[in-house]
Structure 1
Amino acid sequence: MSDDLARTVRIAARALGRAGLVHAYGHCSARVDGDSFLVCPSVPMAHVAVGGDCPRVPVSGDLPEGVLGEVRLHQQIYARRPEAGGVVRFMGPNMMALAALGRVPEMRHGFGSYFAPRVGLWDDIQLVRDDARAVGVIDAMGDSVGVMMRGNGAVVAGASLPEAVGLAWYLEDMCRVELAALSSGLADAAPVLTKDEARARATRQGRIFERMWDFLSHGDPELPGHKQGT
């Protein structure tokens, strides 16, 4: 299982890189069990090597040597949310622009419904390299599956890592729509989803997240059946 899970972590890292959701910075992880998770190598995610080592990190306690400091955010999510199976820390350009304004997107379209009741906001520009800040960020996440950090990216949590990768893409698209609404001058008058509309729309049926995973991971060299040069 560990080998398969590590492969998924590497595939996810490269998929996020190809999608432009991360660059030199960002990380992703997948839960192993109640006590530990695997995190991607501490390199730019698009550069994660085939077969590269994915460090095993305890849910509670010190980070292993060489693991990035902000992986504390993953620890906080796994410790608090037994249903969480994957976490993504990302830096999508639309999300970064909106976060720099100290704003989160409204639920204006279908992808936004998965973040009900509202995307969280951590209003602090500093890097999250201590436990106190990590606790604060995930507190700010509230009941949502995502939290944005002012000028410092976002974190999402899913039932699996492939789902978390999809949620990262969804949050980036939410921010794209919000910036377009703000630019149009129509944001205040535009409709937003109600709580009931969001609950009804946020389906996981019809291979919603599986299809997004297929889209984002397509062509990865560690996918089963992949042939080099195809």
Structure 2
Amino acid sequence: MFDNVRSDADRKLRVAARSLGRAGLAHAYGHYSVRLDANHFLVCAPKPMALLDSSDEGTVVPVKGALPDGVLGEVRIHQQIYSQRPSIQSVARSMPPKVMSLSTLSRTPSPRHGFGSYFSPSVPLWDDPLLIRSDAQASALADVMGESRAVVMRGNGAVVAGGSPEEVLVLTWYLEDAARVELDVLACGAGLLGKTLTETQCETRATFSGRILERMWDYLSAGDCEL
């Protein structure tokens, strides 16, 4: 059914997932997916993303319905995002360390620099440290995320969604850098005094023109075994 798109999607998904792991944005836990059509998506093999090899094929998952055998439980999050947002083409669940630390304060990054502008006006917070183990939880998390590019899970990582696996990888790196800046500002005691970009500045800055996305993708995926 998906022979015409499956092979390329599988390879790109592995490259993106390994890149996420190599960048320190995911460790033993996390998962990455790409939409195949309106009713199905492909999720990477259930193993540490940095350790995926060229023989590790993903699993086709229905946007609505039971998860196939062997698919990790939190892939329900991907289902709900794809179901609620038809324009989304890729989703990653990851564990960026600075995002994680900041989230334990029930805080998410403010748009203080260019990379933070992509999540203006703010990154929604799922203020619950428990794992997502039901469709109801996954649906509620997707509701909290709304039309945002990311949602942070308190003490439990983040979910990023976008138009391609490349975009999701880049946005996850941006989110982590925004959290790094936020923690640095808080550490020097300037949390309330530190400036943020205005809404107009964010709209102007949050662009992918000028090969901004492509250059970061090239940087993060450099040296991958399938490129």
Tell whether the structures are fold-level matches, with TM greater than 0.5.
yes
Corresponding position of 1:22: 26
Q: Is the 8 A contact 1:117 1:144 kept in 2?
A: no
For residue 45 of structure 2, give the secondary structure of its aligned residue in structure 1.
coil
Q: What amino acid does structure 1 have at the position aligned with 2:17?
A: A
For residue 13 of structure 1, give the secondary structure of its aligned residue in structure 2.
helix
Corresponding position of 2:90: 86
Corresponding position of 2:13: 9
TM value normalised by structure 2:
0.96
2:30 corresponds to 1:42:
no
Alpha-carbon distance in 1 for matches of 2:143, 2:79 = 13
Q: What amino acid does structure 2 have at the position aligned with 1:113?
A: S
Q: CA deviation at 1:208?
A: 1.2
Q: 1:172 aligns with which of 169, 176, 185?
A: 176
Q: Is the 8 A contact 1:35 1:60 kept in 2?
A: yes
Q: What amino acid does structure 2 have at the position aligned with 1:205?
A: S
2:27 corresponds to 1:32:
no
Q: 1:159 aligns with which of 157, 163, 169?
A: 163
1:135-157 CA distance string (max 9 Å, x none): 11111112311000111110000
Q: What amino acid does structure 2 have at the position aligned with 1:34?
A: A
Q: CA deviation at 1:100?
A: 1.4
Q: Is the 8 A contact 1:16 1:46 kept in 2?
A: yes
Q: CA deviation at 1:209?
A: 1.1
For residue 88 of structure 1, give the secondary structure of its aligned residue in structure 2.
strand
TM value normalised by structure 1:
0.95
2:145 corresponds to 1:141:
yes
For residue 41 of structure 2, give the secondary structure of its aligned residue in structure 1.
strand
2:127 corresponds to 1:123:
yes
Alpha-carbon distance in 2 for matches of 1:221, 1:9 = 13
Corresponding position of 2:207: 203
Corresponding position of 2:222: 218
For residue 147 of structure 1, give the secondary structure of its aligned residue in structure 2.
strand
What's the RMSD between the two structures over aligned residues? 0.8
Listed as ranges, the gaps of 5+ residues in structure 2 are none
Alpha-carbon distance in 1 for matches of 2:156, 2:66 = 23
For residue 171 of structure 1, give the secondary structure of its aligned residue in structure 2.
helix
| Identity score, percent | 55
Alpha-carbon distance in 1 for matches of 2:211, 2:40 = 28
1:134-189 CA distance string (max 9 Å, x none): 11111111231100011111000011111001010000001000000000111211
Corresponding position of 1:63: 67
Q: CA deviation at 1:13?
A: 1.0
Alpha-carbon distance in 2 for matches of 1:117, 1:79 = 24
Q: Is the 8 A contact 1:7 1:51 kept in 2?
A: no
Aligned length, in residue pairs: 223
